[in-house]
């Protein structure tokens, strides 16, 4: 069980902190963020709970002008604290809650055709950049490419969306959104193939 967070638009820094802190109920082993700023996607990962992460890192640094485009992750580790999320290369990043495979990492290249750097099965989803490829897996994920955020789930993991006048916010659960002060979160419907822009 992990938490994913996505924000695009205009929000206050306090809301970002609240979202991370409320999300840590789903994982306190590691926290990470990827954000778009100045034409680049930056990624930070720390093996600390979210409440420490938002004090070590300054969310106000993640903004471009008054807007933010970011994805975040709170990890519950069942193995180790290596290979934390977001998974990122260049101007692409991904956060994921779920399980792609139970196969051992040394088999991935042969079985799936993707050469991964670590042992986090989310890398398989990152390398394919297509949740539909993994339709038998459990997926709730947010993709960040340049300044565009897209999200999807396949019905096996929760995901909620809150739209305000100025922002779109993704949380793993309704409770996280409500405890952070958001109003009227809506469950992201699973519609098969489509990513929600």
Instruction: Delineate the domains of the chain, giving CATH numbers in brackets.
Output: 3-187 (3.60.20.10)
Predicted local distance difference test score (pLDDT) of residue 102: 86
Query: Cα-flanking dihedrals φ and ψ of residue 38, to 5°?
Result: 60, 35
User: Residue 194: what pLDDT?
Assistant: 45
Mean model confidence pLDDT for the chain: 91
Instruction: Report how far residue 109's alpha carbon sits from residue 183's, in angstroms, rounded to the nearest whole number.
Output: 44
Tokens of 104: 């051992």
Q: Which of 95, 83, 74, 86 is nearest to 29 (CA)?
A: 74
Q: What is the pLDDT of residue 19?
A: 98
Residues of the chain with pLDDT > 90, as a percent, come to: 71
Q: Is the pTM of this model over 0.85?
A: yes
What are the pLDDT digits (tens) for 52-86? 999 999 999 999 999 999 999 999 876 666 779 99
Indicate left, alpha or beta for 181 from its phi (over 0: left) and psi (-120 to 50: alpha). left
Q: Looking at the predicted structure, is the pLDDT value of residue 33 above 90?
A: yes
pLDDT band at 154 (very low <50, low <70, confident <90, very high): confident
The DSSP string of 17-85 is HHHHHHHGGG--SEEEEEEEETTEEEEEEESS-HHHHHHHS-GGGG-BTTBEEEEEEEE--SS-SSSPS
Closest C-alpha to 71, from 140, 132, 14, 155: 140
């Amino acid at each position: 069980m992990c938490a994913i967070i996505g924000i695009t638009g205009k929000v206050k820094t306090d809301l970002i902190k609240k979202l991370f802190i409320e999300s840590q109920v789903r994982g306190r082993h590691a926290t990470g963020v990827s954000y778009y700023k100045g034409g680049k996607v930056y990624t930070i990962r720390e093996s600390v709970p979210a409440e420490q992460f938002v004090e070590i890192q300054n969310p106000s640094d993640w903004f471009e002008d008054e807007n933010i485009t970011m994805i975040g992750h709170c990890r519950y580790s069942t193995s180790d604290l290596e290979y934390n999320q977001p998974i990122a290369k260049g101007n692409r990043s991904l956060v994921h809650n779920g399980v792609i495979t139970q196969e051992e990492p040394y088999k991935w290249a042969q079985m799936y055709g993707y050469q991964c750097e670590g042992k986090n099965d989310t890398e398989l989803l990152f390398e394919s950049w297509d949740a539909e490829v993994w339709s038998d897996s459990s997926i709730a994920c947010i993709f960040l490419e340049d300044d565009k955020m897209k999200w999807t789930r396949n019905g096996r993991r929760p995901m909620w969306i809150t739209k305000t006048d100025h922002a779109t916010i993704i949380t793993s659960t309704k409770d996280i959104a409500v405890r952070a002060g958001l109003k009227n979160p809506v469950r992201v419907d699973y519609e098969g193939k489509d990513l929600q822009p």
